[in-house]
Amino acid sequence: MDDPEEFWAEAGGDIEWTKPWDKVLDKDARPAARWFTGGELNTCHNALDRHADGGRGEQAALIFDSGVTGTTRTYTYRELRDQVGRFAGVLSRCGVERGDRVIIYMPMIPQAVVAMLACARLGAVHSVVFGGFASRELAVRIDDCTPKVIVSASCGLEVNRVIEYKPLLDAAIEIAAHKPDHCVVFQRDMVSASMQPGRDLDWMDEMATASPHECVPVAATDPLYILYTSGTTGQPKGIIRDNGGHAVALKWTMQNIYDLSPGEVYWAASDVGWVVGHSYIVYAPLLHGCTTVLYEGKPVGTPDAGAFWRVIADHGVASMFTAPTALRAIRQHDPDGLEITKYDLSRFRSLFLAGERCDPDTLGWAERQLRVPVVDHWWQTETGWAIAATCLGIEALPVVPGSQGHPAPGWDLAVIGPDGAELPPNEIGALCARLPMPPSSLPTLWNADERFVETYLSRYPGFYETADAGFIDDAGHVHVMARTDDIINVAGHRLSTGALEEVLMSHPDVAECAVVGVADSLKGQLPVGFLVLKVGADGQNEEIVGDVVAAVRQLIGPVAAFKSAVVIDRLPKTRSGKILRSTMARIAADEPWDVPATVDDPAIFDEITTALATIGYPR
Ligand code: COA
Ligand code: AMP
């Protein structure tokens, strides 16, 4: 905190640069300060070649473990580097150069990691789109980042069904105004995707004839990737991650936050489509010379609630990262942790949680069952690493249930009240970070500097607004309580209720609507829709509810888990017209609520209670 530049310059020494930086921090850069300006490096070199040629060539870099198919495949650093070099050759032959964008729409298979690192190798910018998003969401991203190439696979595997990716991709390209030059498709054994001659290329055929491509040095401030995340509207925000600051910060976190040494096995049970997957399945463990695990499967059902413990035992995982919802799912199936006793977890040292608020009860259960530190830590797509954490590699502080730990080094946090003044300890307000933010944090949004400033920097001048509310206690522990915007968190997935409402509003019979996040014991929150129908639509309630549920699945994707909606006569509003979403959510969750003083017509809440009962709420 006293001298961030000295601190991060020292951390920068752990990364190999092709050209040293001129300035550790350019405070005058706009719209936000930039780290390591003037420096040049290649992130793929630091993640692979450096280790492959530096004594780790025969060490496992990536272990692919599919709980769905029951198969595993290990890639050494040398093998992974060779695959990535060759795939960079494939992309280069497709015309991809430094700065070009490549969308990766893939399930959890090693080829997804290869494609990401191949982009980094060329200095191209990848944008991974989570497989649970439907064609329209993919199309929005295609139009926003205008990729030259899209990399995909024939299918993904869910617990009880095969998801064909290629028809979803074809439909997205059809909808999008921008058309990629090529799609490179990995054909999995289970499904053979139909290919469009000329445009579509077969992964295996291309790899067989490609020459490996060397690492292309890029500016530290060049984008490594764009990752879209929910905004307040249907238009997602393209979070930009730079090369230099990202490599420095992420490498630093492995030893200092996660207490991992090079050569150890690390596992983030997330998806490469989310930021956790970018940072802790792919980049950080490899930058640090660890072995990373790529797991295709779920915490339960592939095949049972012992799946996580099996993976930890089979691969000697030292530290793991998952979302609380996964633990809740395991606990639901195996409350006494009997599955845990079946496996040798002697090398397992710590469990990290993030993505949503972790209730102290679930945290305590995991601690009792696993007998290792269970560390809740707080971060966002925007930051790429923890804003608050108990840094196991620095000091063995006690983990305080309900808190996400102290601000991580480099984060100068403040809690700000409605009048813009900083609040004293223990008072809830907007959690903000004093500028400049540490390396890896977003420098702006893709093609949207103004939106970046307006969304994050304008409300509290001099601060980055996290859009989370919470407090910092007397001992300096951060407690993240809730979002201050309309983002909800469903099974660790971040969703915009505004985007869901846009889909509901597109139904011809819907006059007005609201979507609220209702507390759920498994997924944290579940979206529930409230519909007010246009005159003349009476009697068709059930059909319209069915339509909007199907529309969300089709337009946003199954990941939204939008399955419940009710029709009501009108929405509860304040006299100034603001919809009282939080009161509706509390009624649906059976949480205590008061009639807000500003409501225009209190009787409306009786109607809401009755309507919710028809769909089984509160549960
Ligand atoms: N491609 C296509 N569909 C997908 C998908 C993908 N990559 N990922 C999920 N889906 C579908 C699922 O099949 C499911 O469809 P359904 O409505 O037909 O059942 C829907 O999207 C919701 O999936 P999910 O959120 O995974 O819920 P689930 O009920 O299948 O499983 C949990 C519940 C708790 C086990 C699961 O949500 C989980 O493991 N969560 C952890 C999340 C996580 O790690 N987040 C990372 C952030 S750190
Ligand atoms: P995402 O960008 O998808 O990673 O989601 C980030 C949001 O998830 C944060 O802004 C928080 O609202 C929430 N979140 C992430 N980690 C935690 C945590 N440990 N505790 C509470 N909320 C969290």
List of domains in the chain: 491-613 (3.30.300.30)
State in Å: Cα 356 to ligand 2 middle: 5
Give per-residue pLDDT as tens, 422-457. 999 999 999 999 999 999 999 999 999 999 999 999
pLDDT for the residue 601: 82
Give the three-state DSSP class for 564.
Answer: strand
Q: Which ligand is nearest to the CA of 402?
A: 2
Q: For residues 359 and 305, what is the distance between their CA atoms, to the nearest angstrom?
A: 20
**Which residue has the least CA distance to atom 15 on ligand 2?**
355
Give the three-state DSSP class for 442.
Answer: coil
Bridge partners for 479 per DSSP: 471
E strand intervals along 258-343: 265-268, 291-296, 317-322
DSSP per position, 461-519: TTEEEEEEEEEE-TT--EEEEEESSSEEEETTEEEEHHHHHHHHHTSTTEEEEEEEEEE
Tokens (6 digits) for 265:
């096995």
Q: What share of the chain is helix, strand, coil (3-state, %, to 5)?
A: 30, 25, 40
Q: What is the largest CA-CA distance in the chain?
A: 73
Question: Locate tokens 């971040």: which residue?
Answer: 494
Q: Hey, which of 359, 489, 496 would you mutate to test ligand 2's pocket, going by the most ligand atoms within 8 Å of its Cβ?
A: 489
Cβ burial, residue 396 (10 Å; 0-12/13-18/19+): exposed
Tell whether ligand 2 has an atom less than 6 A from the beta carbon of residue 88. Answer: no
State in Å: Cα 333 to ligand 1 middle: 17
pTM value surpassing 0.85: yes
Taking phi over 0 as left and psi of -120 to 50 as alpha, with beta for the rest, 210 belongs to beta
Tokens (6 digits) for 259:
């207490």
**Which residue has the least CA distance to atom 17 on ligand 1?**
558
State in Å: Cα 466 to ligand 2 middle: 10
The closest-lying atom of ligand 2 relative to the alpha carbon of residue 494 is 3
Q: What is the CA radius of gyration of the chain?
A: 24
The closest-lying atom of ligand 1 relative to the alpha carbon of residue 557 is 21
Bridge partners for 433 per DSSP: 413, 464
pLDDT for the residue 142: 98
Q: For residues 323 and 314, what is the distance between their CA atoms, to the nearest angstrom?
A: 21
Q: Give the chain's length.
A: 619
Nearest CA among 466, 505, 464 for reference residue 485: 466
Q: Hey, which of 133, 232, 356 would you mutate to test ligand 2's pocket, going by the most ligand atoms within 8 Å of its Cβ?
A: 356
Q: Do 63 and 109 form a contact (C-beta atoms < 8 A)? A: no
Which residues, 6 or more positions from 64, have their beta carbon under 8 angstroms from its beta carbon? 71, 72, 73, 74, 75, 109, 110, 294, 296
β-pairing, 265-268 vs 162-164, is unpaired
Nearest CA among 411, 375, 410, 412 for reference residue 396: 375
State in Å: Cα 93 to ligand 2 middle: 39
State in Å: Cα 270 to ligand 2 middle: 14
pLDDT for the residue 111: 98
Tell whether ligand 2 has an atom less than 6 A from the beta carbon of residue 355. Answer: yes
pLDDT for the residue 599: 81
pLDDT for the residue 236: 87
φ, ψ of residue 142 to 5 degrees: the values are -60, -45
Give the three-state DSSP class for 307.
Answer: helix
State in Å: Cα 268 to ligand 2 middle: 16
Residues having CB closer than 6 A to ligand 1 are 107, 131-132, 156, 158, 163, 269-270, 274, 276, 298-300, 322-323, 325-326, 329, 354-355, 491-493, 558-559, 561
Tokens (6 digits) for 197:
């001659």
Q: How far apart are the first and last CA of the chain?
A: 47
Q: Do 478 and 470 form a contact (C-beta atoms < 8 A)? A: yes
**Which residue has the least CA distance to atom 5 on ligand 2?**
380
Report, as ranges of residue numbers, the positions in the chain whose pLDDT lies below 50.
none
The closest-lying atom of ligand 2 relative to the alpha carbon of residue 483 is 12
The closest-lying atom of ligand 1 relative to the alpha carbon of residue 269 is 44
Tell whether ligand 2 has an atom less than 6 A from the beta carbon of residue 120. Answer: no
Q: For residues 488 and 413, what is the distance between their CA atoms, to the nearest angstrom?
A: 23
